[in-house]
Structure 1
Amino acid sequence: MTNQNESSNRVRNLREAKGLTQTELAERAGISRSAVTAIEGAKLAPSVATALSLAAVLGCSVEELFGSPESPKATASWAWEPPTNSNRCWHAEVFGKVLKLPAAVTPMWSALPDDVDAGSQKASIVADETLVLATCDPAAGILASQFHAATGMRMIVIPRSSGQSLELLKHGVVHLAGLHLATAEHPEGNADAVRTGLGNDYNLIRLSNWQEGISLPAGSAHRSVRSVLGARLKWIGREEGSGARQCLDQLLHGRRAPRCVARNHMGVATAIQSGWADAGVCVQLVSAEAGLRFLPVQQEAYDVCYAKSFRGDRRLTAFINVVRSVAYRSLLSDLPGYDTADAGRISNVN
């Protein structure tokens, strides 16, 4: 079997012989530039699909490029510390690294954990066919199902708030980060958060504009935001950095933040349903599904952020095509509070 360093050098030598940069090879092969860098540095064993693409671009067979069809074992590391001693995980190639993503006990709109060895060829194939999105979007399951139906690849959804999603993207353990910090009063909210936390080398793609507001028990006597704010109610809070927390802080005008904090939109609805809280901020879809009263406060731009270095990767190209598809936009626009008129629009953080 060909040594991985030898095959990696062969990729680099053939690329240079054809006068291609890493970026050009990545674009033609439909992978990210960071993946090319990792393969040439013997840090990533390519999947069968990637090997075939590289061989086609470089004008040789897979065997000539990588030697034996049996690829060397790829090392996989944890994206973050798993909450328990469980080895349940999803495998994903993210920016040239094969990562193990801890599988939640109650996964959010995602596939079952992988039943493969981290160093196996099957794990490498699965990793190369996986797109990872961190988001708080309660409708992310629709996007994941549409992505799989259109491409045969899978999308793993990691439940995180806007600020937490950007942190995962900053540390290079997810491909995409969802955020909803932009409003009519602050239309650059999403771009500003990306510039401050990550820098300028990122793009935003609009998925929708959605309604954020106050959720109340179904039988509440309050019919307006002003009425709610004038009453002595027990609020359920959200963590700093989340879009809901930003909206809540604006509503409470400097009052002390609620002591009890929900981890996500659904946690807000559950607290109100259970009688633990009288009011909270969440998106309209979650409030409607919980059978609660909803008072709209503001429309927010829900964008997904990705690194410019990820452009050209076939998973991102497929993702953009799905977001722009009539099927996805139609499904999303049927949900309470979602407006997909701008879905698929890409903006430069610069």
Structure 2
Amino acid sequence: FVHRVLKDKAAVLINLGVWEEGILVQPGNPKRLKTIADLAQPGVTIVNREQGSGSRELLERKLQEEKISFTAVQGFDQIVNGHQDVALAVATGKADAGVSSASIATAFGLEFIPLHQSRYDLVILKQYLEEAPVQRLLGTLGHRQVISQLQALGGYDTSLTGEVVATVEAATNGKHN
């Protein structure tokens, strides 16, 4: 993806963190949900995110992998905007489940069924890497207080936060190095 977007520019990828996404359910998991396929069971209602959100894309991809029609999932068209709205709908019983992050589940006292981990990286063009503002940002990313705040939220893997996880070399003669 980075090669395609940057074309002939050199860059480094610095990890921001890895977060876990999955199904939020009420405390005690009263519907006994375990997998994405369980969302299509009779009597189970979900809340969904808006088109283009990562959570919705994850839900759609997982349903397609299981060959489950979107129309088979009650509440698929019940749309909310944002992770907190998903958690609020589940916490208040307006929905039995919804896709969001582990950190949101923790914040709302909900149970969490993991589905996927997403790694988030910061892409910095090599020509700007030594600039003072960039160096300050990188120094902040690796600071123990920033790491401890991410860990306190729950659901984030910070083992690589602030680390260079990949380099992209400039293309030469139409080929990537």
Question: Per the shorter chain, which TM-score range?
Answer: 0.7 to 0.9
Paired with 1:260 and 1:310, the residues of 2 have a C-alpha distance of: 44
| Alignment correspondent of 1:262 | 80
RMSD between aligned alpha carbons? 2.7
Q: Give the deviation of 1:324 after TM superposition.
A: 1.5
Q: % of aligned pairs identical?
A: 29
| Alignment correspondent of 1:237 | 48
Q: Give the deviation of 1:309 after TM superposition.
A: 5.2
Unmatched runs of 5 consecutive residues or more in structure 2: 170-177
* Local SS of the residue matching 2:153: coil
Q: Give the deviation of 1:203 after TM superposition.
A: 4.0
1:303-314 → structure 2 map (5 Å cutoff): 303-308=121-126, 310-314=128-132
Letter in 2 for 1:256: F
Structure 1: 4+ residue segments shifted above 6 A: none
Q: Give the deviation of 1:304 after TM superposition.
A: 2.8
* Local SS of the residue matching 1:270: helix
Change (3 A) 1:317 1:240: farther
Change (3 A) 1:287 1:226: same
TM-score computed with the length of structure 1 as normaliser = 0.40
Letter in 2 for 1:205: I
Aligned pairs, number: 157
Paired with 2:88 and 2:13, the residues of 1 have a C-alpha distance of: 31
1:220 to 29, 50, 58: 29
Letter in 1 for 2:27: A
| Alignment correspondent of 1:289 | 107
Matched, 1:301 2:119: yes
Matched, 1:317 2:130: no
Q: Deviations over 1:2-32 (max 9, x none)?
A: xxxxxxxxxxxxxxxxxxxxxxxxxxxxxxx
Paired with 2:98 and 2:47, the residues of 1 have a C-alpha distance of: 5
Paired with 2:33 and 2:13, the residues of 1 have a C-alpha distance of: 36
Task: Indicate conservation of the 8 Å contact 1:237/1:261, yes or no.
Answer: yes
Letter in 2 for 1:239: E
Paired with 1:242 and 1:195, the residues of 2 have a C-alpha distance of: 23
* Local SS of the residue matching 1:331: helix
Paired with 1:236 and 1:349, the residues of 2 have a C-alpha distance of: 39
2:6 to 180, 199, 207: 199
Q: Give the deviation of 1:219 after TM superposition.
A: 4.2
| Alignment correspondent of 1:121 | none
TM-score computed with the length of structure 2 as normaliser = 0.72
Greater relative contact order structure (CA < 8 Å, 6+ sep): 2
1:68-147 → structure 2 map (5 Å cutoff): none
Letter in 2 for 1:212: E
Paired with 1:309 and 1:205, the residues of 2 have a C-alpha distance of: 15
